Structure 1
Amino acid sequence: PDPGKPVIPPLRAGWTLRQDIPGDAPADVARRARQALDQGAEALGVTIRSGDTPGPGLAFPEAAAFRAWLTPFRTVPLHIDADGPPGPLLAAWLDMAGPNAHGTWMWDPLARGARRGRLPAPAAFDALAHLLTQTEPSSSVRVLGIDLEPYHEAGASATQELAVLLAATHTYAGALTDRGLSPRNVAHHLHVRVPVGTSYFMEIAKMRALRRLLGQVLAAYDAEAGRVPVLVQAVTSRRSMTLYDPYVNMLRATTQAAAAILGGTDTLTVRPYNELYGRPDDFGMRIARNTQLILRHEAYLNRVVDPAAGSYYVEHLTDALGGQAWSLFQAIEARGGLMDVLRAGWLQQQIDATRQARARQLAERRRVLVGTNQYPNTEERLPDEVLSAPSGSAAPAVRSTNERDAPSDGDPIAPLPPFREAEPFERLRRRTEAHAAAHGHTPTVYLLPFGHRALRSARAHFARNFFGCAGFVIDEGDGFDDLDAAAEALTGVQADVVVLCSADDAYRDAAPVLLPVIRQAAPGAVVVVAGYPEDDLDALREAGVDDFVHLRSPVLETLEAYQQRLGIGEAA
């Protein structure tokens, strides 16, 4: 891309506050939609499924039923997620709302096929061409959607997401212009859904680079098309959401929302913090709305167009990210384009490598997910209905329509399965909770801080966070200045794991004093040293120490080994 080309600005200062309304009962969805509008939402998102297709969302067997449902919302911007072309529904919407019709129809056959494992057939592009000819270019309803969620949820990086966006835009623009549509018509109907992750500055740069790069792809077809502002719809990431400590999801969503706004999104959806538990309740929906209202009315993020412009760091990051994405886009095109790299499995391999690298960073705690692999709430237990669900399952009431199976003529490909970053640690904790439910006992880790006050406190803090990630009960003794007091405190301790917490040079003298007391009080306990005293490892093992945990310990792998050692199997 031309590094000197300015970022195409958003349509206006500020953004439209969108709230998605889940559900499959039209009356209930309408009630919650009215409530959302009364309390600050400016646009609605709903899911519509076709005919008898199973899955979440509203089903309207005929256009008249859709018109009746839509009547109270005919002047409200409406964003529809669908599993196919609209058929008569779009015509009913445009006819009823007239010039007040405003919104989008999100049906992205490429993204849907990438997730499901089937490429779209040529008939899908024919249907898109018909859809665009059915809608006037001047209409405020955009019907050519590109959805980056399947790629993001499969683990794609910001660079990969942008490259896929460019490749998808090129694929659709080429197919539709071949079918007689003008590039300007394509550009006027284009809208993009962009998930926003937790890397704050990177996500700002991604949003800004998106407009610059898209404009250059469209300009290759027609200079005027390259100047058409693209409607960008940001949504907070599901990939970073957690089942445990769900209130932290509110904080993540706040930083993600701010990044989307500073990056210039036109429409923003904040996911309810408790979405993973099933259909979010009214409180979760209210907090999601209020997150945006605070950013608007109290933080005043709606006052400036492109507020990050001129920041050396953000501008440099935007340029670097744009350059990397453009290079990857060229690599995709050199391999035949998006359809061909999906057919060959090349893109899936690239995204999977990124996902695995991120998973390793989380497993080794080189990347932190607060409340999951660091600073866990050890008192928390999942609700029974969540604990009894299949491990790693998503809440069916809120899954994207792109995940649903449907007949297709396209070639089979390797799918892009969604994953959440917290899932491995959540499986770990769920196994512990299932074991406790089955046996009436949650494994207990007793921390014994002694010796140097600052070092024992630091080591106890480390061990608390380390073992707490597995959902074990953490019992911590008072700090002890001498070994006699520490040994006395061990009398009567009932624990499955005992962790000695002190300075490295204190363990050699402490082990002969403390180990016999531990073996007498808790004969089957695993004795662990917090730290890695290299000079004394052999002596400590000979004294009876079973293991060492330290900063270089791979957290997930180590805790899985402890579960096996304690007889904890797979969660039901």
Structure 2
Amino acid sequence: MTSAERLNLAADFPAATRDQWRGLVEGVLRKSGVEFGDPEAALATRTYDGFDLRPLYTADDTAPDAGFPGLPPYVRGATPGGRVLSGWDVRQRHADPDPATARRAVLADLENGGTSLWLVAGAAGLPVAALGDVLADVYLDLAPVTLDAGAETLAAADALLAVHVDKGVAASEVRGNLGADPLGLRARTGEPADLGVAVELARRAQAYPALRSVVVDGLPYHEAGASDGQELGCAIATGVAYLRALTGAGLDVDQAARQLELRLAATADQFATIAKLRAARRLWARVTEVCGATVRTAPLHAATSSTMTTRRDPWVNMLRTTLACFAAGVGGADAVTVLPFDAALGLPDAFARRIARNTQSILLEESKVAGVIDPAGGSWYVERHTDELARAAWAVFTEIERAGGIAAALDSGLVDERLAVTRTARTARFAAGEEAITGVTVFPNENEKPLTREPAPPEPGGGLPRVRYAEPFEAKLESS
């Protein structure tokens, strides 16, 4: 008996057919009184990107070959070994404006499972002048820092590099990202994008072989209500704009590509998140191939979505972020940030931070989610979803390029117009009960004792609107 024969566990059973499945489904639908024509169409779910998620996928539902991990088109991962040996980077976000509190929180995270830091500095977070105090006890050669300083990016980058010098960290050991994202700042604030900031920091980063300087952030679009395809399309268009700016300033295309890191949202829709991260690698590989780069991948940072968080019954946010973190790991994220469950209420407390980092620790150390290379690979559903999402995102990207690029599309209102359609449709589905927010639109606790937190520094506004889908329904509950 061959190994193939031994593994054919269903050899003694007749092969099931699609027609048999359809017949059984039709019987169930009739008994339940559901009106239907085609049973597959009746059970399909239309995505906000215009393609259907069907109830059944088989080997007939082919998708383009996803290749192998570590090889083009990198759908299955940027490295052959995935994250099996090291796990993903547990990147903790800090935005507390009080330097002493931030310093304690940073140390607590790094001593208890965190492996890197995402520091929000400037008006929306830590004072730039306090970066040295906050990082005084941090071994920066072991725990890299990614900055998020908005309009104060240059000053924050200067301060961070000065801390490395003060600590005697060799240039070859400086890692992390200086966080230049002028187009993301344009999307959030409406202020003109100064790509010179990205150019200057990219030039400066050439002295540090392991340091990156630019973040291609999809969160401003996600937080404004974008679909997964819209978020991806806007992010890819942003990345292309940065490649143009950096190569136009004298860097070669590989030097430019090495400066970029992608950041995308992870949601509680686990399969959509898995497909989004896999599609992001495929899209970026195609962009860099066309640009003639040999550097075909970029680090992928997944952050749990703020649009899905709730102020009411915030404990349910733990379940949402666990699903999102799981999906980010399965999708092959290089770094993952889990927002604390009370983040929608204000500045997180120590307990919420501990739960956020322990969510990752449990998935990594106990559940061994990183212990399998591309566990979703070969799933007919995931492979088809990845392909259809990549095509939808490419359509968004090409529309933006025809409009003159992401900066022009933001200035003309094209991006906001497209996102508003999706935002309105999703809100309508929540209002109609077609989608649910547990603890708010379904199963609300009318006698809930609210949590209170110190208010967080206000995020910059003036650009794309920011949405948290539970907010209007929470307001209705509180006023009733």
TM-score normalized by structure 2?
A: 0.79
Tell me the SS of whatever aligns to 1:277. Answer: coil
CA distance in 2, matches of 1:361, 1:162: 22
Answering whether residue 292 of structure 2 is matched by residue 222 of structure 1, we say yes
Answering whether residue 174 of structure 2 is matched by residue 101 of structure 1, we say yes
Greater RCO (CA < 8 Å, at least 6 residues apart): 2
Q: Which amino acid aligns with 1:57?
A: L
Q: Equivalent residue for 1:454?
A: none
Q: CA deviation at 1:5?
A: 6.0
Q: Equivalent residue for 1:72?
A: 137
Aligned CA distance change for structure 1 residues 378 and 69 (closer, same or farther; 3 Å): closer
Answering whether residue 191 of structure 2 is matched by residue 113 of structure 1, we say no
Tell me the SS of whatever aligns to 1:156. Answer: coil
Q: CA deviation at 1:161?
A: 0.6
CA distance in 1, matches of 2:64, 2:149: 37
Contact 1:85/1:131 (8 A) holds in 2: no
Q: CA deviation at 1:305?
A: 2.3
State which of 72, 77, 82 in structure 1 corresponds to 2:149.
82
RMSD between aligned residues = 2.0
Q: CA deviation at 1:294?
A: 1.0
State which of 200, 211, 234 in structure 2 corresponds to 1:164.
234
Q: Equivalent residue for 1:237?
A: 305
Answering whether residue 476 of structure 2 is matched by residue 428 of structure 1, we say yes
CA distance in 1, matches of 2:455, 2:391: 38
Q: CA deviation at 1:93?
A: 4.2
The correspondence of residues 362-401 of structure 1 with structure 2, limited to 5 A, is 362-383=430-451, 396-397=455-456
Q: Equivalent residue for 2:213?
A: 143
Q: Equivalent residue for 2:465?
A: 417
Aligned CA distance change for structure 1 residues 361 and 179 (closer, same or farther; 3 Å): same
CA distance in 2, matches of 1:213, 1:322: 7
Q: What do the CA deviations read for 1:99-154 (whole angstroms, capped 9, x no partner)? A: 3322112231111111212231xxx2222111111112762221111111111011
Q: Equivalent residue for 1:57?
A: 126
State which of 112, 119, 125 in structure 1 corresponds to 2:195.
125
Answering whether residue 103 of structure 2 is matched by residue 33 of structure 1, we say no
Q: Which amino acid aligns with 1:110?
A: L
CA distance in 1, matches of 2:133, 2:102: 13
Q: Which amino acid aligns with 2:78?
A: P
Answering whether residue 357 of structure 2 is matched by residue 357 of structure 1, we say no
Q: CA deviation at 1:17?
A: 1.0
Contact 1:137/1:185 (8 A) holds in 2: no
Q: CA deviation at 1:70?
A: 3.0
Answering whether residue 89 of structure 2 is matched by residue 16 of structure 1, we say yes
Q: Which amino acid aligns with 1:77?
A: P
Q: CA deviation at 1:370?
A: 0.8
Tell me the SS of whatever aligns to 1:239. Answer: coil
Q: What do the CA deviations read for 1:340-383 (whole angstroms, capped 9, x no partner)? A: 21111111010011000000000111101111101111221435
State which of 220, 224, 233 in structure 2 corresponds to 1:154.
224
Contact 2:253/2:293 (8 A) holds in 1: no
Structure 1 residue ranges without an equivalent (≥5) = 387-394, 406-413, 433-572
Tell me the SS of whatever aligns to 1:143. Answer: strand
The correspondence of residues 409-488 of structure 1 with structure 2, limited to 5 A, is 415-432=463-480
- Identical-pair percentage: 34
Q: What do the CA deviations read for 1:385-438 (whole angstroms, capped 9, x no partner)? A: 58xxxxxxxx85166xxx326xxxxxxxx8211010101111102213xxxxxx
- Count matched residues: 398
Contact 2:237/2:405 (8 A) holds in 1: yes
CA distance in 1, matches of 2:369, 2:406: 36
Aligned CA distance change for structure 1 residues 423 and 305 (closer, same or farther; 3 Å): same
Q: CA deviation at 1:174?
A: 1.0
